[in-house]
Each structure stands twice: as C-alpha cells, then as structure tokens.
Amino acid sequence: MSALIVGLAVDIVAIFVSAMCGMVIWNWFIPPVFPTAPQLTVPFAMGLSFTVSAFISTKQYKLDDLEDDEGVFNAIFSQAMNGIIKPVFLLGFGWIVHSIAF
C-alpha cells in the first residue's frame, strides 16, 4: 500500500515538474521563432504534456515484477527518472541552448 502512495506522489510531482519544464522551454524557443505563437501557462503546458505523452509509450510493469521490494523500488525509480529527472535535464540543456542562441 505504501508503494502505491509513493508511486502516486511521484506521479503528481512529475506532472507539475514536466509542465513547468515544458512551459519554460516552450516560452524560450517557440515565441521567438513564431511571433504569433502564444506564451504557455502551466495549465496549458500540462495539457500539452498530457497530449504528447498519450502518443509516447512508456514501460509497463507486470504484477510479477512488483512482487518483491526490489521490483517495486525499480518501478518507482524508473517512474521518477522518466517523470521528474528527464524533464529537468531537458530544461537544463534547453537553458544552455537558449543562452547560446538568444
């Protein structure tokens, strides 16, 4: 039960981190190239993130993989990497490119 709560907490944090990183990257790169494109807000960035993630496959875990503590840890760690760490790294690389290009 505690793994489920931790997994849900990671998901909630991942949604907000992904939306914030997506919003900043969008606002850095899209409006300067396409002046008529609007600035993104957090709710619209969340919607865009949901839309894009609907077309991208992610690893699905089988119940057999989650029977022991190591399998649960691996599932939560993978979820955190994809949902939190990856957007933050993309934001970092976007900041480098933005700093050089603009």
Q: Specify the DSSP element, H or E, that contains 90.
A: helix 86-101
How far, in Å, CA of 43 to CA of 22, rounded? Answer: 11
CB atoms within 10 A of CB 37: 13
**Structural contact between residues 66 and 72, judged by C-beta atoms closer than 8 angstroms:** yes
Closest by alpha carbon to 79, among 53, 102, 55?
53
Q: Does residue 27 surpass a pLDDT of 90?
A: yes
pTM above 0.85, yes or no: no
Regarding predicted confidence, which is higher, 26 or 80? 26
The predicted pLDDT at position 61 comes to: 55
pLDDT for 38-97, tens place per residue?
Answer: 998 888 888 887 778 767 766 665 555 556 667 777 777 777 777 778 888 888 888 888
